[in-house]
A and B are shown apart, each in its own frame.
Chain A
Amino acid sequence: MVQLKQVSIRLKSIKNIQKITKTMKMVSASKFTKAERDLQAARPFGYAPRKFYEMSQLVLGKVDDDDKDKKKKKAAAPPPPTTVEQKPADKEKEKKMKRIYIAMTSDRGLCGGVHSGVARRIKRDFTERLADGANHKLVCVGDKARLILRRVYAPHMLLNVKDVGRLAPGFADASLLAAVITEAGYSYDIGEIYYNKYYTPVKYELNVIPVFTKAAIENAPNMMAFDDVDEDALECYAEWTLAALLYYALKEGAASEQSARMAAMDNATKNAAEMIKKLTLLFNRTRQAVITRELIEIISGAAALK
């Protein structure tokens, strides 16, 4: 027999939880509108460098245009996007390449599979490339990536960045990030930014954009077509591009995170409502049972006295 008191305590706690999730949903909804608006302004920051990568043939294939995203996604989703020239002969070379993995997450959880998706993809790529500590380094932006990845990949970790996602990211954050990555003293051949790309409020998808250093840009297959650029300017350009891409990824990540949190909290509220319904029923039944029992006791007591 369920105790009436227990049920009422549980009911109360779930009602509180529902209130919290409802509020969180509303908070992330307002943050999300802002993030989505900001994202519109940040999209060119992602588009421009990738357009250049395409034009200089650093990256094969077309950059995904925002309008054609959906079609493009279908074609590109199953195989991971080709980053550099990946002929079988280059496999050996690629193994020796120094890589940097930048995981864009945030400090906050309760937003569905946003962060774990990033971590899972990185884990997969690490296993695929048989990464060893010397050539593959990890930059965790946001505490969540660090928490998920530190158990297995602690030796790979180059940098951990905390305090992401509390406020809306700005360009200053991105340039700070780019500066610490540049100053970390690890010279990589190719970098990859893992982030969640936002499509609609109910859809986000993990995406990887490559970043290149000055040396890689210099040796790009189609660099001949470009006018001569002096060393300093090219270095500045490469660093600035890194900052721009990070900014873009931060913005995309923030929008997907908020949208995912909205969905997650919406579901949590619904689940809580369902539980409240069940528990209320149980509570009323138990109360009725208690009343009935007491009545029976009184009546049978009275009957015994006759």
Chain B
Amino acid sequence: MASRDVVHYDTPLQRVLRVLAVIFVVLYLIWTLLPFVIMFVSSFKDLLAAFKLPEVGDWMGIGVFFDFTPTYKHYATLFQENNFGRYIMNSLIAAGGSAVISVIFGSLAAYSLSRVDFRGKSDLFFWIISTRMAPVVAVMVPLFAIFRSLDLVGTLPGLILAYTTFNLPFAIWILKGFFDNVPYGIEEAQMVDGATRFQAFTSILPLVAPGIGAFIVLCVLFAWNDFLFAAIIGSGGAKTLPVATRELVQPQNIQWGAIMAAGVVTTAPMMLLGLVIRKYLVTGLTMGAVKE
């Protein structure tokens, strides 16, 4: 898929539109990035400095925002008093665990759905997708009842299971598209070369790696950012970062500094992950869609 040169001829209208487009992009960038900037900067300010604002209309006073002495005390509070190290681990285990389990079962199921014809296949496939159609909130109460009777509430395995329930159909759905695009001839060649069916399956996994990569990212993002499951099913023993951050809001005392620091701690890993696999993610998501 080589990019093509787009031939275009400027009219005055297009020039105006181009300027407008630039303005729009700049505003959009400010709109999306400013909260992160404020969060990041505020996490290094003590409370007094954080709430120092310039007068309304005083654009020259904007420097006030950056006039502070950096302090690391909020981060120290998080890790020393609030046990955030543990919550980071919980988040990592819950997100990573469900991603790994979903990929293993998802790729096996997607491969079967892609390669084998059996009775009721299309119904089965629709049913798998349809489990994602109901809003999560709608099934939360029954799910909680089931998890409670299985003693899974407040445990990491419980949380992993809950995330997997929602990630697995997604994995099957995405990966089936990728398997569909791998020519069956490659596995046939493998089998004639002397591979078992399972070896043939594993041999084409590198070809769906972009799909698996893309899925893992989406799956980790979903679990990492999730609040609802974590608050209801993970509460207590399996507290994750979003829930722990929420608990920094106490009736008498909203710990703004710690909340900002927790926001940075929660956001930074996902941003890094996004940067590292950005290229992968784009090829992954488009490769399944366009047949070459």
Report whether chain A binds chain B.
Answer: no
Which B residues fall within an 8 A CB radius of A? none
